[in-house]
Amino acid sequence: MKKYSTIKIIKFIFGVIVFCQPNLLMADWGVSCIRIMCDTKKDNFYIEPFVTWSGGPTPYHQFDAQIAVSKNKLTNENDTFYAFDRRAIVMGIKQICETDTRTINVYIKEGKLELSENNKLIVKGLDVSRNRTTINAFYALRSGEPRKWEECNKKNGDGKIQCKSYDLEKQNSAELLYARTIPNAQIQLNRGADINSHDIEGYTALHEASNAGNCKLVKFLLDNGADSNMVDAYGRTPLSFAISRGHDECKNILLQFGAILPKNDK
């Protein structure tokens, strides 16, 4: 067997890091493609990240080879849309959708979405890059008329897609989601962050704190109006995490604030 010197091995590892860094950055990312559909005739707008493991197949996986040569504009049997791969999600996406009534600007950098309508900020900092559990997560943000938006995802682990109005007066903050300390969380709240800020899987700061056993932060979030029964894309509540992780103190705090264990966890 051929032997390699330590120096050669170090050079090889360095070469992989330098030349393959975008792939390494995204190795644990679940989103492999983002579709942006802009129907200027009907004034419909739709943005959907496709969540898969490590770049696996998506409904538009067959277009991967065409994305670069087509300047991201693709067509299937149903519509014409823009598609961006995982590298673009990290390195940056800028897309403009113009209709007779509005201009929608989409900007994605390092996996965070910023979207505005007629210069009015609609979404800032929504994490559209990660998923934690399965390939079945789904999220879409869509609008069929000015100033009316809704977000759709799968809830309760039953695979059914549910949609609800997107509150334009609240700021969905990725920074709050991963604040991890009370001072950091307070800073984000002072900046106008929605206490129930979430990612594309419905995962909130309270889910994160309960999962980590950060019971002081759990209490702080609840005192500031966090929903103790928020359900993520897999049917999990903060209480689900506290119980499964054995964080009894967090569990008791959540119960005091009206937390209810989902039916599929009872």
32 and 156 together in one domain: yes
| Residues 129 and 198 placed together within one structural domain of the fold | no
154 and 31 co-located in one domain: yes
The arithmetic mean of pLDDT across residues 136-157, rounded, is: 78
Kindly state whether residues 136 and 199 are assigned to the same domain.
no
- Looking at residue 71, what is its pLDDT? 64
Domain match, 151 and 52 both: yes
pLDDT surpassing 70 at residue 202: yes
* pLDDT tens for each residue of 147-194: 899 888 766 556 677 788 887 777 788 789 889 999 999 999 998 889
| pLDDT score recorded for residue 265 | 60
Beta bridge partners of 73: 82
> Of 169, 188, 220, which residue sits at a domain end?
169
Q: End of a domain among 122, 149, 169?
A: 169
Residue 163 lies in a domain: yes
Which of 169, 202, 222 is at the close of a domain?
Answer: 169
Q: Residues 45, 133: one domain?
A: yes
Q: Which of 68, 67, 50 is nearest to 59 (CA)?
A: 50
The pLDDT of 69-82, averaged and rounded, is 64
CATH assignment at residue 216:
1.25.40.20
Question: What's the domain count of the chain?
Answer: 2
Write down the pTM of the prediction.
0.69
Instruction: Please report whether residue 143 resides in a domain.
Output: yes
DSSP string, 221-245: HHHTT--TT---TTS--HHHHHHHT
Task: For the sheet with 161-165, list strands across it.
Answer: 73-75, 80-85, 31-39, 44-51, 139-145, 148-154, 161-165
The pLDDT score that the predictor gives to residue 259 is 95
Q: What percentage of residues in the chain have a pLDDT greater than 90?
A: 26
pLDDT score recorded for residue 205: 95
pLDDT of residue 85: 67
pLDDT value of residue 76: 62
Burial class for 38, CB neighbours closer than 10 Å (0-12, 13-18, 19+): buried
Q: Looking at the domain assignment, is residue 13 inside a domain?
A: no
If asked whether residues 192 and 255 sit together in one domain, one would say: yes
Specify the pLDDT at position 166: 82
Mean pLDDT score, 202-211 = 94
The per-residue pLDDT for 66 is 54
pLDDT of residue 151: 85
> Would you say residue 186 lies in a domain?
yes
Same-domain pairing of 164 and 239: no
Within-domain flag for 5: no
The boundaries of the domain holding residue 147 are: 26-169
105 plus 183 within the same structural domain = no
Average pLDDT, the chain: 75
Q: Name which residue leads in pLDDT, 78 or 237.
A: 237
Looking at the chain, the number of H-run helices and the number of E-run strands are 9, 11
Are 175 and 188 spatial neighbours (Cβ–Cβ below 8 Å)?
A: yes
Residue 243 located in a structural domain: yes
Residue 262 belongs to a domain: yes
Answer whether residue 94 shows pLDDT above 50: yes
Do 147 and 104 belong to one domain? yes
pLDDT above 70 covers a percentage of the chain that reads: 66
pLDDT of res. 2: 42
Q: Tell me whether residue 17 is in a domain.
A: no
Looking at the structure, tell me whether residues 155 and 187 fall in a common domain.
no
**What are 16-59's pLDDT values in tens digits?**
222 223 332 333 444 556 778 888 777 888 787 765 544 444 44
Judgement on whether residues 138 and 117 belong to the same structural domain of the protein:
yes
